[in-house]
Amino acid sequence: MHVVATAGHVDHGKSSLVRALTGRDPDRYAEEKRRGLTIDLGFAWSDLPGAGAVAFVDVPGHEKFVPTMLAGVGPVPVVVFVVAADGGWMPQSAEHLAALDALGVRHGMLVVTRADLADPEPARARALAELRASSLGEVPSVACNVVTGAGLDDVRRVLADVLSRVPAPDLAAPVRFWVDRSFSITGAGTVVTGTLSAGRIAVGDELQLGERRVHVRGVQSMDHDVDRVDALARVALNLRGVDRHDVGRGDALLTPGTHRLTDVVDVRLPGTEPPTDLPAQVVAHVGSAAVPVRTRPLGVDGSGDGEDVLVRLQLRTALPLRVGDRLLLRDPARHTVLGAGTVLDVDPPPLNRRGAAAARAADLTGVRGPDAAGELRRRRVVRGEHLRSMGVAPTGAPVTGDWYVDAGYWADLGRRLRTVVTEVAAANPLQPGPTLEQARRLLGLPALELVEALVSTPLRVHDGRVVERTSDLPPAVERSVQLVLADLAREPFAAPDVERLRELRLGRSELAAAVRAGRLERVAEGIVLAPGFRDRAVGALRALPQPFSMSDARRALGTSRRVAVPVLESLDAAGRTVRGADDRRRLEGKP
């Protein structure tokens, strides 16, 4: 299905066009029909030649209903912009276009209606010039008469061509379904409608609504009950577990655990007037929501083509926002669209100290959207789950579990840990090193597993403490083990073969002693690797397409089948990999 918004005109012309194209009346209220004025969102759908199923969201044109108009166009990627030949370009046309431009809508067409009442060319020329200067750019145009039907076939043909060039939605994306209507049906309960712009929803799904969970009891699209609906589509959902008065326009139904509810965001406003002139109180529009916000300018970023304003927004109501979202800011007192801010951070630090705003502006200079490396530099230590809920896909491998750490900061932590161990041991000779919990607190880390991951030669964990590594091995054996570890530092999975072990005088008993001392790890009979080989193997295998074959794993590990086979079997036994019926494996679970 395709979803199209009709916008631009102040009178009934849009509704008449939708009615002529679909045979359905998008105006639902008697007052709309009496006044000839769309006052709420209208919906209609039909099959159009060359396009298939197309749903229309008809938005109000009058300036009193701009918030309603924004609720309709927010999740919709295509617009049919309507002007009347006898009315031409109007103030409401300009306000609709400013909103579409701020939202970055890039796909659409122009329709000049009432072509029987006036020459359509002046209205067409003016409208095309205005659209050309917006995010829509060059768009095709058609003049028509909905009364006689003249030009309607051209509208259908051009619209089908426009829709054919719209990128396909991401069906694997998490659901963020903005509700634009809510009502109840006797015997069915609460029903909500909206535009599904990404992902898919099926009967039986559990979705998040604010802090609660609700279940999808039924799904309808174009008046038909379906088991599942894929984006892009107009959808009606019958919900279980929520009262009709507890959900309404501006709420969002979410795939659980995939979005952060936030009431503080930092945004970039391109081409905005100086920050001292930005109103202190504005309204932010996103999806179908309209939320009052307080603004706090942070500074100006001149790193791009112009000077952008960096602003902190305090939202009156928390919303499920992600980095890269566009928030349309509007000054309702002046009926002015101020622009669309690109969300840079949905979990920003507090601004409690003098100079904090300027420092924050410096941190955000040059940031224009999701940036995993930048987020790591700014946050230093963060869970991958937290990044993903912000709309930022982590890159590289976690240092342990789901923890990601900036590389420079991780190296600094390693140096600081060695200093901490030395200082604690010097201060209390009876305690050779700090406990893991002491080390965590002294380093300011959020989890013990990060301390354990930091420990490396010459440190080790002994009896719950981080201590300088000492060896209980005989000197000759210790020297040979150090040579093995030096080989493995260069090639982590090139386990010493029989000849190398014989050369180093490491027999079965010597290897067993080295394993007991924690200096080596036994993988299989006669095969030893450096401690932590499973984590290193998972890190190397993470880069492979899943599932992977034994040959794929051997190449990724840079070793022979003699070593790769027991390494993978060890990962299987530890629950780090899952072996399929075809002997291919995939990574599974956490360390």
pLDDT in tens, 523-535: 999 999 999 999 9
In the chain, the domains with their CATH numbers are 2-164 (3.40.50.300), 176-254 (2.40.30.10), 260-369 (2.40.30.10), 370-470 (no CATH), 483-587 (1.10.10.10)
Full-model pTM: 0.72
Could you tell me which of 192, 253, 181 has the C-alpha nearest to residue 26? 181
Question: What pLDDT does 448 receive?
Answer: 95
pLDDT at residue 591 above 70? no
Q: Output the pLDDT for position 288.
A: 87
Least confident of 67-81, 128-142, 448-462: 67-81
- The type of residue at 483 is L
Residue 70 has pLDDT above 80, yes or no: no
Task: Report whether pLDDT(411) > 50.
Answer: yes
In contact, 146 and 215? CB cutoff 8 Å: no
Q: What is the mean pLDDT of residues 421-427?
A: 85
Q: How far apart are CA 94 and CA 80, in angstroms?
A: 15
Helix (H, G, I), strand (E, B) or coil at 49: coil
High-pLDDT (> 70) share of the chain, %: 92
Q: Residue 424 pLDDT > 90, yes or no?
A: no
Radius of gyration of the chain (CA): 31
Question: Which amino acid, residue 352?
Answer: N
Output the average pLDDT for the chain: 87
pLDDT of residue 469: 61
Token pair listed for 296: 């706090």
pLDDT at 5: 78
Report whether pLDDT(176) > 90.
yes
pLDDT score for 43: 84
pLDDT digits 0-9 by tens, 298-312: 999 887 777 889 999
Examine the pLDDT at 274 and tell me if it is beyond 50.
no
pLDDT band at 180 (very low <50, low <70, confident <90, very high): confident
Question: If you write DSSP's letter for every residue of 210-278 in order, what string do you get?
Answer: TTEEEEEEEEEETTEEESEEESSEEEEEEEES--GGG--TT-EEE-TTSSEEEEEEEEEETTPPPGGGS
**The tokens 């535009």 sit on which residue?**
195
Taking 50 as the threshold, does the pLDDT of residue 502 lie above it? yes
For the chain, what percent of residues have pLDDT higher than 90?
55
Least confident of 31-40, 425-434, 469-478: 31-40
CA torsion 544-550-551-557 (nearest 10°) is 60
Q: Is the bond leading into 547 cis (omega within 30 degrees of zero)?
A: yes
pLDDT at 454 over 90: yes
Could you give the C-alpha distances from 243 to 80, 175, 188, 216, in angstroms and in order? 35, 21, 11, 13
Which letter does DSSP use for residue 174 in this model? P
Instruction: Choose the weakest-confidence range: 214-218, 322-326, 470-474, 567-571.
Output: 470-474
Q: Which residue has the tokens 């379906």?
A: 226
Looking at residue 28, what DSSP letter applies? Answer: -
- Residue 429 — pLDDT band, cuts 50, 70, 90? low
Mean pLDDT of 189-205: 93
pLDDT tens by residue, 350-397: 999 999 999 999 999 988 888 888 899 999 999 999 999 999 999 889
Q: Which pLDDT tens digit goes with each residue over 529-582?
A: 999 999 999 999 998 999 999 999 999 999 999 999 999 999 999 999 999 888
What is the pLDDT, as a whole number, of residue 419? 93
145-169 average pLDDT score: 93
pLDDT tens track for 105-135: 899 999 999 998 999 999 999 999 999 999 9
pLDDT, position 32: 47
- Centroid of chain to Cα 82: 33
What confidence score (pLDDT) does residue 470 get? 60
Q: What was the pLDDT predicted at 241?
A: 82
* Pairing mode, strands 2-7 and 78-84: parallel
